[in-house]
């Protein structure tokens, strides 16, 4: 018997296994869209235009932290069968403490909504010259359509739509690097951790707030719970993969999502550092788009705007999903996703209506997000390190130590930022 024929029967089971494993991917890719929202674009673009390659290390460090944090969030949802807001809603017994925690989480979610709607509005203005206020309305309307897919067709169809938009985002923001590649030596120099002034600290906090987003931590645990209903209270399903297989697939899912998100965020900063440094007006998304178009051509400029639009549409849908889960988990109030989307559009449309600088609003929203990180991260690390919560899947000691170190670093950076702002240093 020919050798190739003898090996064919073995190839089919392996192919089937790989297809089954691939079918388990998805929740992290949806949560990962939160790492590619317009706030990321504004923060990384501004950092590259103002400081060149100085903050490359912040993007890389933030992505490494994000991998661990998103995996812990998904693990909590898989093992317990509940989202992080649900677990906190049960553990925080004092009604007023629970409401206070919900309020800060809700403000963070609203800051996220503002960034995403603003980004979509700016993109529509760049592509079709649509006034910003109408662009915000259109962005909100499209996001409502995407949320309807999630509500009526289920999480899998929602994942396909969001992953498709992620592919558009990648193409839109990475294409420029092939036309004007950055300096490798400068990139290496940017990996040395350092700051130059309070402005660089502000942007570092903004980058981290856009990279490690509190609402993504809340959302990922809910996405994993909805996609793979396991844990106490769920009936056994012989067709469902074992929890260990799901956790292994989740590690791959998070790795793929974070590699994509980290690469795109780094590409945005490098694109600005290589082509926009010293160019006037590039602190705004409109100015950056004009400079990219002038320096790299109309096609790259259009791709950038299309990527920004896809970023706003995808991330605002995930943000609304996270906000609804926060309210349900902490207040046990179930607000329809579509109704919540309409309400959270108001602050963004107000900002657009009064003529506030959209790019500045985007950067400031990411700073607000960075201050919300400890409130999501500390409980996440604490819960996943408790055997009574996760049983045999409790964190290893090294994992818990890394989580604590990351939390301390993020809180310290925010404290330094606050001190610099208050003292005017």
Reported as a single tens digit per residue, the pLDDT across 32-60 is 887 888 878 878 888 898 899 999 999 99
Q: How confident is the model at residue 189 (pLDDT cuts 50, 70, 90)?
A: very high
Token digits for 409? 């670093």
Q: For residue 235, what pLDDT is reported?
A: 52
pLDDT at 5 over 50: no
pLDDT at 406 over 90: no
Q: For residue 421, what pLDDT is reported?
A: 60
User: Could you tell me the domains of the chain?
Assistant: 28-423 (1.20.1740.10)
If DSSP codes are grouped into helix, strand and coil, which group holds residue 193? coil
Cα distance between the two ends of the chain: 79
Q: For residue 19, what pLDDT is reported?
A: 45
pLDDT at 17 over 50: no
Q: For residue 316, what pLDDT is reported?
A: 80
Q: For residue 211, what pLDDT is reported?
A: 74
Q: What is the pTM of this model?
A: 0.84
Pick from 81-95, 179-193, 343-357: least confident = 343-357
Q: For residue 402, what pLDDT is reported?
A: 92
What is the rounded average pLDDT of the residues 381-390?
92
Per-residue CA distances from 112 to 48, 209, 254, 322 (Å):
22, 10, 21, 10
Q: For residue 4, what pLDDT is reported?
A: 52
Q: Are 163 and 29 in contact (CB under 8 A)?
A: yes
Q: For residue 420, what pLDDT is reported?
A: 67
What is the rounded average pLDDT of the residues 120-145?
88
CA distance 195 to 199: 9
What is the rounded average pLDDT of the residues 386-400?
90
What is the rounded average pLDDT of the residues 340-354?
78
Mean pLDDT taken over the chain: 82
Most confident of 157-171, 281-295, 377-391: 377-391
Q: Which residue has the higher pLDDT, 210 or 199?
A: 199
What is the rounded average pLDDT of the residues 362-372?
72
What is the rounded average pLDDT of the residues 311-322?
82
Q: Give the angle subtended at the CA of 325 by the CAs of 373 and 339, to the nearest 5°.
A: 120
Strand stretches in 281-359, DSSP E? none
Q: Are 230 and 240 in contact (CB under 8 A)?
A: yes
Residues 6+ apart with CB under 8 A from 363: 39, 42, 43, 46, 203, 206
Q: How confident is the model at residue 171 (pLDDT cuts 50, 70, 90)?
A: very high
pLDDT at 141 over 80: yes
What is the rounded average pLDDT of the residues 196-203?
83
Task: Tell me the H-state helices in 24-94.
Answer: 27-32, 38-51, 56-80, 84-91
What is the rounded average pLDDT of the residues 108-133?
86
Q: Are 77 and 227 in contact (CB under 8 A)?
A: no
pLDDT at 112 over 70: yes
Q: For residue 187, what pLDDT is reported?
A: 93
Task: Give kind and range of the element (H or E) at residue 128.
Answer: helix 95-128
What percent of the chain is predicted at pLDDT more than 90?
Answer: 25
């Amino acid at each position: 018997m020919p050798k190739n024929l003898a090996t064919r029967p073995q190839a089919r089971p392996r192919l089937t296994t790989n297809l089954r494993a691939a079918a388990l991917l998805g929740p992290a890719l949806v949560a990962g869209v939160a790492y590619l929202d317009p706030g990321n674009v504004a923060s990384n673009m501004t950092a590259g235009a103002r400081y060149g390659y100085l903050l490359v290390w912040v993007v890389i460090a933030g992505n490494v932290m994000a991998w661990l944090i998103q995996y812990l969030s998904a693990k909590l949802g898989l093992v317990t069968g509940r989202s992080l807001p649900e677990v906190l809603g049960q553990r925080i017994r004092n009604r007023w403490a629970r409401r206070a925690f919900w309020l800060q989480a809700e403000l963070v979610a609203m800051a996220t909504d503002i960034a995403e709607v603003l980004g979509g509005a700016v993109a529509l203005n760049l592509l079709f010259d649509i006034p910003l206020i109408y662009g915000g309305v259109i962005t909100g309307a499209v996001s409502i359509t995407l949320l309807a897919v999630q509500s009526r067709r289920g999480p899998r169809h929602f994942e396909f739509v969001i992953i498709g938009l992620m592919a558009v985002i990648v193409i839109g923001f990475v294409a420029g690097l092939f036309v004007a590649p950055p300096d490798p030596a400068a990139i290496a120099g940017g990996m040395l951790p350092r700051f130059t002034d309070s402005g660089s600290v502000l942007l570092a906090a903004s980058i981290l707030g856009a990279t490690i987003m509190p609402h993504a931590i809340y959302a990922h645990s809910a996405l994993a719970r909805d996609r793979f209903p396991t844990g106490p209270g769920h009936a056994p399903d012989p067709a469902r993969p074992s929890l260990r297989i799901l956790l292994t697939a989740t590690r791959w899912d998070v790795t793929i999502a974070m590699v994509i998100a980290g690469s795109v965020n780094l590409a945005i900063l490098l694109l600005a550092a290589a082509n926009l440094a010293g160019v006037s007006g590039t602190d705004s998304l409109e100015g950056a788009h004009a400079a990219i178009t002038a320096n790299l051509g109309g096609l790259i400029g259009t791709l950038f705007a299309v990527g920004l639009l896809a970023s706003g549409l995808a991330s605002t849908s995930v943000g609304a999903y996270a906000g609804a889960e926060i309210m349900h988990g902490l207040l046990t109030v179930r607000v329809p996703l579509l109704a919540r989307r309409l309400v959270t559009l108001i602050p963004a449309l107000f900002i657009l209506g009064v003529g506030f600088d959209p790019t500045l609003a985007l950067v400031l929203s990411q700073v607000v997000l960075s201050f919300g990180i400890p409130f999501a991260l500390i409980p996440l690390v604490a819960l996943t390190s408790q055997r009574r919560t996760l049983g045999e899947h409790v964190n290893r000691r090294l994992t818990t130590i890394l989580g604590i170190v990351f939390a301390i670093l993020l809180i310290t950076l925010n404290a330094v930022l606050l001190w610099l702002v208050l003292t005017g240093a």
